[in-house]
A = this chain, B = another copy of it.
Amino acid sequence: MTTEARAPGRPPGLTGEDLLAVARDVFLERGYGGASMEEVARRARISKASLYREQPSKSALYEAVVRHWASAGRNAMRPALERLLAADDLRQGLADLAETMRFGILSEPVLAMRRLVTAEAVTQPEVARMYLEESWNANIRNLAEALQTVAARHGLQMDEADAAAADFTWLVIGAPLNARLLAGDVDASPVDRAVDLFLAGYRRRRAAR
């Protein structure tokens, strides 16, 4: 069979979430300004008129794309956090988590989405704020919860779990994220340094202020 079966009168092109996936690819490849509604329509095999009936404007399409992406990534770390909670060796568990975080956050599509949303934060701040809250802070809070559990089990001093989750995250991905965003470099530094520094800082109560 060379043609798909389809009901008469049904649209042959993409709509709904399939359309959002196509639009996402165009935005990630070209940036907001470089993306044209015509290319989105062409790749989705629909007319521009049909595209505008699905989304009333380019900015509305952009917001829908980011919202769908953020929703999908909201609990991206959950499996890795389950593995951390199940790990006997805390240090090894944190190192595995760190590797997973690097692999995910430094992947090309995630980097491209960060570039896109950051660049458009000036003109569409509410979209950037939604992305930060739904996609990033939600994951930080999940991480904080898991860290609090393993801290209690392994006798770590962790009064402010959210801050500790941020510390861990930025020790692990700060430098390579910066390098990849700006230069595409693949960072080769082992995660063990970050994990050791984190553990050293939280193993004993830090000096009072």
Q: List residues of chain A with CB under 8 Å of any chain B CB.
A: 31-34, 91, 112, 115-119, 121-123, 125, 128-129, 131-133, 136, 160, 163, 166-167, 169-171, 174-175, 178-179, 181-184, 189, 192-194, 196-202, 204, 206-207, 209
- CB pair A122–B115 under 8 Å, yes or no, is yes
A129 smallest CB distance to B (angstroms): 4
| Residue on B nearest A117 in the bound complex, by CB | B182
> Which B residues are CB-close (under 8 A) to A118?
115, 118-119, 181-182
How far in angstroms is the closest Cβ of chain B from A123? Answer: 8
Across the interface, which residues of B come within 8 angstroms of A183, CB to CB? 121, 125, 128-129, 132-133
Q: Is the CB of B31 within 8 A of A34?
A: no
Q: How far is the CB of A131 from chain B (nearest CB, A)?
A: 6
CA distance A123 to B181 in the complex (A): 12
**15 further A-B pairs in the complex, CB-CB below 8 A; given A121-B183, A167-B193, A170-B174:** A31-B123, A33-B34, A112-B122, A116-B119, A118-B119, A118-B182, A121-B181, A125-B184, A163-B189, A163-B193, A166-B175, A167-B194, A171-B171, A197-B201, A200-B206
